Amino acid sequence: MSPFRITAVCMGNICRSPMAEAVLRTRVTEAGLADHVVVDSAGTGAWHIGEDADPRALATLRAAGYDISHAGRQFDRGWFDADHPLRADLVLTMDADNFAGVIALAPDELARSRVEMMRSFDPALVDLAVGDPRLDVPDPYYGGPEGFVQVLTMIERASDGVVEALPTLLDR
């Protein structure tokens, strides 16, 4: 049986989604599920294909004890195909725009059902509907280092919720 694949998606795949990839991968490993769950990331845009994560994202991750090897990628419709090598079983988008962009690529209702907002797994936010701005992980790209720290905190809380939900998600 192939592993369950989680893909974190933001706009350019250099800030939020690589941070989510690093945190989720660590949490999955700590939960003893690394043999069953693969975590990666992508962006809705093509601007940073092949590039490393933003240096501020990397510095924030390293300061918190996370590590990541990264090369930017773009999410496309093929990632919903069962036989695609990067097939995504769960797509975690960072904000409402990313959510809408990924939903627009989904070929059918089954594919759309695999798209969630990252923060919808935050235990304090699980009752919020898609589109509620409190579910957005803000893009820290145009700000200072404190924005990356804020994003990391949001992603950590949501990642804990994702790992807690994995037994149910793996049964879908």
Q: What amino acid positions are annotated as catalytic residues?
A: 10, 16, 139
Q: Order across the sheet with 90-93: list the strands.
A: 37-43, 4-10, 90-93, 115-117
Q: Which two tokens stand for residue 126?
A: 């699980």
The single residue listed with the structure tokens 């250099």 is 14
- What is the signed CA dihedral for 57, 61, 67, 73, rounded to 10 degrees? -30
The single residue listed with the structure tokens 């093929």 is 78
Binning the chain into helix, strand and coil, the percentages to the nearest 5 are 45, 15, 45
- Beta carbons of 114 and 90 less than 8 angstroms apart: yes
- Beta carbons of 85 and 170 less than 8 angstroms apart: no
Q: How far apart are CA 31 and CA 50, in angstroms?
A: 30
- Beta carbons of 5 and 88 less than 8 angstroms apart: yes
